[in-house]
Amino acid sequence: MLPLPFLFSVPHHYIAPCNSHTETNGGTVLFAVELEHISKTFPGGVQANKDITLRIEKGEVHGLLGENGAGKSTLMNILYGLLSYDEGRIVVNGEEVAPKSPEHMIERGVGMVHQHFKLIPPLTVTENIMMGSEPREHERNTSARLVVGILALFSIILFYHNLGIVGGTVATIALTLLIMLAFHAYDLLTKLCTRLWEMSEQRTGLSSSIIGALASMVGAMRYAVINLQPMSFSQAEAKIRRIAEENGLNINPRAKVADISVGLQQRVEIIKALYREAEILILDEPTSVLTPQEVDELFVTLDRFKETGKTIILITHKLREPMALCNRISVLRDGVLVGTVNRDETSAEDLAQMMVGRPVVFEVEKGPPSMGDVMLKVEDLYVDDVRGLPAIKGVSLEVRAGEIYGIAGVEGNGQTELVEAITGLTRPQSGTIIVNGEDITREGPRKVKEAGVAHIPEDRHKRGLILPFTIEENLVLGAHYRAPFAKGILLNLNVIKSHAQKLVSEFSIKVPRVDVPASNLSGGNQQKVVVARELSTKPRVVVAAQPTRGLDVGATEYIHNVLVRMRDRGVAVLLVSAELDEIRSLSDRIGIIFNGQIVAERDPEVATPQELGLLMAGHFGNQTQEADIA
């Protein structure tokens, strides 16, 4: 019987797992990481990793590729000490270890840059990097820890009190006592302050006392940074400058993290790992929030790391990155290691087939658009974000029947607020939104849907589905109150079931039955449920926000084909995506959004990724901007 990996149509250059070292013509290959027979099952019986044996060579860039949910991040979180494992053995640089915590693995030279950065916005670059560095035994400062605890106690209680959170005081006293007693006072304080900062960012009209409480928290953290570290602030800053210069990571150590771009924040995370002497660096989806220029800069940095002998593990579900960077690439599918291949002996097509188990078509096949009348018209739109700050500033655009209008931009430049205003989830401050000649500017989601607008939201869990509801229930959301799904105040369950079964078949949704909860489905099939529901209403306008976020290449291919099919049927499609390749391949026209404004329009057949990337990053002249907007 063939081993399991060969049951998945693996390319002929599959490399079987090897021994603790490999003899080659050039000598012995040394391994930085050896994972042997690793298995992990989560509560509820979901097995994320199944008997995985994987070896990472010293000094290589190793790609860990797979669909979302394939087990990539779980495996690396086990290596980094964030998750426990059920079975197996882990060896790092020849030493067997049982990872207990990130701190434990940092001591052994393993660092990790997470997809969602672990930074404190109001602190400087230097303060963020110093945070959590372990003090030497003789420099532990009991009085400093006590002051930090008292400041934290005062500020956290005040913060929670002003937010009116029930039971907050008791909980925060307990947490603060832990801070005062714990050796890593600053590490716990980091987590607390991060959470409070996020809460403050999500609320409007914060009182001066709440702002004061948050300021006290920041002050406590700064006191901890300065007084609980193994070196002086100036020494740390000098070390950071040296690391940045040696690795081409230009950054101002005194800048506040809140004031720097996402790309620079990623540099801070990388420098933080290098500051702790990491020789093995794990990067989790590192390009997901970067412009094309920032991606290129990251690639240069990783090449430099490789030259200095560092070992890089790149977690990704994209194909461009491993083909551009990696020496070897390992593919996971359904928690199983399908195989490991040499980059020079494989192709994107082979990798995609290993990921999903079938051939994948990469080129989006679409003919020239047959544009009709303007179906969506946005004029001089202004929208505030949840904090009451301007997010959309005078946006005007038109989308015609039979075209896909793509909006390209780095996330956080107003895309969410624009989509929510068009779909009735947010009321704009001023401006107009017209759909097929009807003004829907002040209408809610139900009226907007009745006007012919379908919405594929950027967060399918928050806006697209009710996860505990069944698939059939989710497939009629928004239309459940109308015939034929309802008779007066009663639902017509037979019609709903029949409708659901029809859509499941039409949109190739893989489900055991339509009466199971949506939470049981994979991310790709959950997205298909949202798409099926929205497009079954025969809309005039489709607003698709990040429609392939978190999807594997197979599901992405399917969603792309559906959007092109809708466009060819005469539907106006507004596509908002952080994936520049997706925007370029699907769109008939591209609008670039920066700082809440459409700063330029481009023809995707002519515009280069470099040009679009510069516009996305805000590099444009007034003359060009005015001409493009006009």
pTM, two decimal places:
0.64
- Whether omega before 484 lies within 30 degrees of 0, making that bond cis, reads yes
Position with higher pLDDT, 628 vs 365: 365
Q: What is the CA radius of gyration of the chain?
A: 26
Residues with Cβ within 8 Å of 177's Cβ and at least 6 positions away in sequence, in order, are 149
Let me know: does 168 contact 192? Beta carbons within 8 Å. no
Q: At residue 140, does pLDDT exceed 50?
A: no
Q: Give me the pLDDT at residue 388, please.
A: 86
Q: At residue 385, does pLDDT exceed 50?
A: yes
| Range of lowest pLDDT (229-243, 249-263, 404-418, 540-554) | 229-243
Mean pLDDT of all residues in 310-319 = 90
C-alpha distances (whole Å) from 27 to each of 23, 61, 375 are 6, 19, 66
Using alpha carbons only, what angle is made at residue 26 by residues 22 and 29, rounded to the nearest 5 degrees? Answer: 30
Decide: residue 468, CB within 10 A, 0-12 exposed, 13-18 middle, 19+ buried.
Answer: exposed
**pLDDT, tens digit (0-9, with 9 covering 90-100), for 508-531:** 888 888 998 988 787 778 888 999
Token pair for 20? 């603790």
Q: Give me the pLDDT at residue 80, please.
A: 93
Closest CA to 474 of 550, 529, 430: 529
Position with higher pLDDT, 384 vs 6: 384
Let me know: does 183 contact 142? Beta carbons within 8 Å. no
Q: Which CATH number is associated with domain 4-109+279-356? A: 3.40.50.300
pLDDT confidence of 43, banded at 50, 70, 90?
A: confident
At residue 177, φ and ψ (nearest 5 deg) are -60, -40
Residues of the chain by 3-state class (helix, strand, coil), percent to 5: 40, 25, 35
pLDDT confidence of 624, banded at 50, 70, 90?
A: very low
| Range of lowest pLDDT (14-28, 124-138, 392-406) | 14-28
Token pair for 367? 């003919």
> Residue 296's CB: how many other CB atoms inside 10 A?
16
Position with higher pLDDT, 121 vs 343: 343
Query: What is the residue type of 264?
Result: L
Position with higher pLDDT, 364 vs 599: 599
**pLDDT, tens digit (0-9, with 9 covering 90-100), for 289-314:** 676 777 888 888 898 898 889 999 99
CA gap 97, 103 in Å, rounded? 13
CA gap 283, 278 in Å, rounded? 12
Q: Give me the pLDDT at residue 189, please.
A: 52
**pLDDT, tens digit (0-9, with 9 covering 90-100), for 402-458:** 999 999 998 889 999 999 999 999 999 999 999 999 999 999 999 999 999 999 998
| Range of lowest pLDDT (229-243, 266-280, 471-485) | 229-243
CA gap 612, 608 in Å, rounded? 6
Position with higher pLDDT, 288 vs 627: 288
Let me know: does 183 contact 140? Beta carbons within 8 Å. yes
> Residue 208's CB: how many other CB atoms inside 10 A?
8
Q: Give me the pLDDT at residue 1, please.
A: 32
Closest CA to 131 of 275, 32, 335: 275
pLDDT confidence of 133, banded at 50, 70, 90?
A: low
Q: Indicate the helix (H) or strand (E) that contains 336.
A: strand 336-342
Q: Give me the pLDDT at residue 102, please.
A: 87
Q: Give me the pLDDT at residue 393, please.
A: 96
pLDDT confidence of 47, banded at 50, 70, 90?
A: confident
CA gap 108, 131 in Å, rounded? 19
Residues with Cβ within 8 Å of 479's Cβ and at least 6 positions away in sequence, in order, are 485, 537
Mean pLDDT of all residues in 83-97 = 94
Provide the 8-state DSSP code for 578.
S
Residue 462 CA from chain centroid, whole number: 15
Q: Give me the pLDDT at residue 556, please.
A: 84
CA gap 110, 515 in Å, rounded? 45
CA gap 356, 222 in Å, rounded? 48
Sheet with 61-66, strands from edge to edge, namely: 110-113, 280-284, 311-316, 61-66, 328-333, 336-342
Position with higher pLDDT, 538 vs 217: 538
Let me know: does 126 contact 240? Beta carbons within 8 Å. yes
**pLDDT, tens digit (0-9, with 9 covering 90-100), for 249-295:** 888 999 988 888 778 888 999 999 999 889 999 998 888 767 677 78
Token pair for 189? 């304080």
Let me know: does 93 contact 342? Beta carbons within 8 Å. no
pLDDT confidence of 336, banded at 50, 70, 90?
A: very high
Q: Which sequence spans correspond to the domains of the chain?
A: 4-109+279-356, 135-227, 374-452+539-629
Let me know: does 195 contact 168? Beta carbons within 8 Å. no
Most confident range (mean pLDDT) of 197-201, 479-483, 505-509, 536-540 is: 536-540
Q: Give me the pLDDT at residue 440, please.
A: 96
Token pair for 97? 């270890």
Q: At residue 155, does pLDDT exceed 80?
A: no
> Residue 578's CB: how many other CB atoms inside 10 A?
21
How many residues in total does the chain contain? Answer: 630
Return the percentage of the chain with pLDDT > 70, whole number: 76
Architecture of domain 374-452+539-629: 3-Layer(aba) Sandwich (3.40)
Q: Tell me if 4-109+279-356 shares its fold with 374-452+539-629.
A: yes
**Average pLDDT over the chain, rounded to an integer:** 80
Return the percentage of the chain with pLDDT > 90, whole number: 41
Residues with Cβ within 8 Å of 626's Cβ and at least 6 positions away in sequence, in order, are none
Mean pLDDT of all residues in 467-486 = 89
3-state secondary structure 146-207: HHHHHHHHHHHHHHHHHHCCCCHHHHHHHHHHHHHHCCCHHHHHHHHHHHHHHHHHCCCCCC
